[in-house]
Copies of this chain bind each other. A is one copy, B any other.
């Protein structure tokens, strides 16, 4: 699945919030739509707030709102904001670095894969996602995971 759950959650949340960049989304609202375990969701939202990609408004009628333009938030930004510092290493076998001139059969093949991943993550912004309306898809999909608060 490539991303860890927490990162996936962050991607879902941010994509959902991209629906309406002006709106203040409460944790409750997000929970109702994404069905991410409530208390964990709350925790992640504060983490995302601290990252600066969104900001929070406390008190009654509070919530969260994007703090940048959609076009200024890439998927990679979100991944980092979620605290996922995983680097998409280029060695297929997971070695830190290859000290050898002669590369194995996988080296270049895999480099292409890694680059295509990074390319998607860097070049795709929330703006692009909004156009095709992901969040709707997301919220409906998540109804599969029926959980109680």
B-binding residues in A (CB < 8 A): 1-3, 5, 8, 11-12, 15, 86, 88-89, 92-96, 98-100, 102-106, 109-110, 112-113, 116-117, 120, 124, 128-129, 131-134, 136-138, 140-142, 144
Contacts of A120 in B (CB 8 A): 106, 109-110, 113
Copies in the complex: 2
**B141 close to A99 (CB less than 8 A):** yes
Q: Do residues B15 and A96 form an inter-chain contact, with CB atoms below 8 A?
A: no
> Which single member of B2, B109, B116, B137 contacts A104 (CB below 8 Å)?
B137
A133: B residues at CB distance < 8 A: 102, 104
Main secondary structure of the interface of A (DSSP, over half): helix
- Give Cα distance in the complex from A8 to B110, angstroms: 14
Determine the distance from Cα of A93 to Cα of B8 in the docked complex, in whole angstroms.
Answer: 6
With beta carbons under 8 angstroms apart, the residue of B1, B2, B105 that contacts A132 is B105
Q: Is the CB of A104 within 8 A of B1?
A: no
B-side contacts of A113, CB under 8 Å: 113, 116-117, 120
Q: Kindly list 20 other residue pairs between chains A and B, CB separation below 8 angstroms, not including A8-B93, A98-B137, A100-B136.
A: A1-B88, A1-B94, A2-B2, A11-B92, A12-B93, A15-B93, A15-B104, A95-B142, A96-B144, A98-B141, A100-B137, A100-B141, A102-B132, A102-B137, A106-B120, A106-B124, A106-B129, A109-B120, A113-B113, A113-B116
